Structure 1
Amino acid sequence: MDEGERLVHASSFGAAAVAYAEHRPDYAQRAVRWALEGAPGVRVLDLGAGTGKLTATLVALGVDVVAVEPDPAMSSELRRALTGIGALQGVRVLSGSAEEIPLGDGAVDVVVAGNAMHWFDMAVAGSEIARVLAPNGVLAGLWNVMDDGVEWVEGLAEVSGSAAIGPRDTPASWRAETAGMHLPKTGAARFSSPEQAEFPHGQRRTADSLVATLGTRAGMLVMPDEEREATLGRIRAYLASRPETARGEFTLPMRTAVLRVRRR
């Protein structure tokens, strides 16, 4: 994806902020604990915080959270989510981006990004992240990926196409895509070699709500309406044909995958 496409995809979520908040999954708590492991303190920046899916998990773990998000519609849903769990007063929610973080030098011990790091311009964001991290601080990207080791999920990926289930959306593709390409490109010597880990996760869905979830993917949001409806129709038909997903609720097998580096 070239820079123009990246910007279009990255800015597509605001129009679907309500659906994103309703349908996107949270993150496995074990994965978030691993992301924070070994940090020098508990000051955490959730960068590209979106509607607060990762922020809420951080709050549950009792860390001091600052959430930074560039899109006002996504921030509005984030505040709504934090209000719902009684945590709005305990979390600073700031307007900003990975390329322009509104915090001082060494302000946080950990920077995390939930399904967002691949949208950062690391040529700029790498230096910004290094700037706000304390010495020995941690940078961790987290992604929820579908476990295509399960036969019906593998079939779903084939039917859905790359706009709905693309790079980073299954374990093997995530490992390849995050092996190095999403790490800071400026000042990279200030970060350790990357570590990858995956943790079991799942999301309760129905066929309709899984279709809605896939409809919030960036590739789907920027797709022409006719093509989008045709793709969602194929997904509906596939889910209706499978005994695992045709009736009622089921668990979508997932993993929360984490890429972690440390600031030297």
Structure 2
Amino acid sequence: MPNEDPATLAAEHRTVSRVMGIVEAVAGNEPHGLKLGDLADAVGAPKSSVHGLAKGLVALGYLQESDARYFIGPAAPSLVSAKTDGLRQRATTEQLTGLRDKWNETAMAGVLVGQSVVYVQSVESSHTLRAAVPLNSRVQLWPASSGKCLLADMPRRRLEGYFKRIGVVGEERDNALEELEQVKEQGYALNLGGTAVGMFGVASPITTSDQKVTMTIAVTGPELRLTGQLDALAADVRQAAIALSHAG
């Protein structure tokens, strides 16, 4: 079998990255949509290139165009519906709302997308000072509490490769690996100001039918309200994750 031309592979990879970047950028700006120039800036590509890709996504139904803006099209939800629809319904009606009502902190559900976590749903706290969760946008796995739950389930080789790519090396990497082992044992993860100063997060993994961890449920809020309550909050988040893991 002949070897692929490295230049061709690089070009194909760049095209895939641009296509996915376009879809993610538009999803992250719903319901306002994005203009062509904004899309070009978001993916770092010329308008001429982005215009052709966006038109192709419109033709396939993944985007729709109105008033010179691009919006998510009817075909896009089908990409993740099998993984997230059941989670959205159960988490909304039972677990996310239950956690928010008890703790009055923002609760959210996340899914693993590539090597990022994407929050697909949240129920916000009523406090003026509260966590605001970016929906349908990629968030780096480390050191997010949801990300730690997803990383803890990764094979060791893949995990070490991930840390190398994001620059977590040496003693810092060893400490991170040790923390992930603890996450695996206790069934929940903490993020104490690692993503945003003064904000605490607690997450727990949701297992699917094949026991893989691709979903999480989490609660996040200000340090000043959660200090001294993390053990109790972690127990509630863990119970919510177990309930979702056993849901149909």
TM-score (norm 1): 0.28
Relative contact order higher in (CA < 8 Å, ≥ 6 apart): 1
TM-score (norm 2): 0.29
The structure number with the bigger radius of gyration is 2
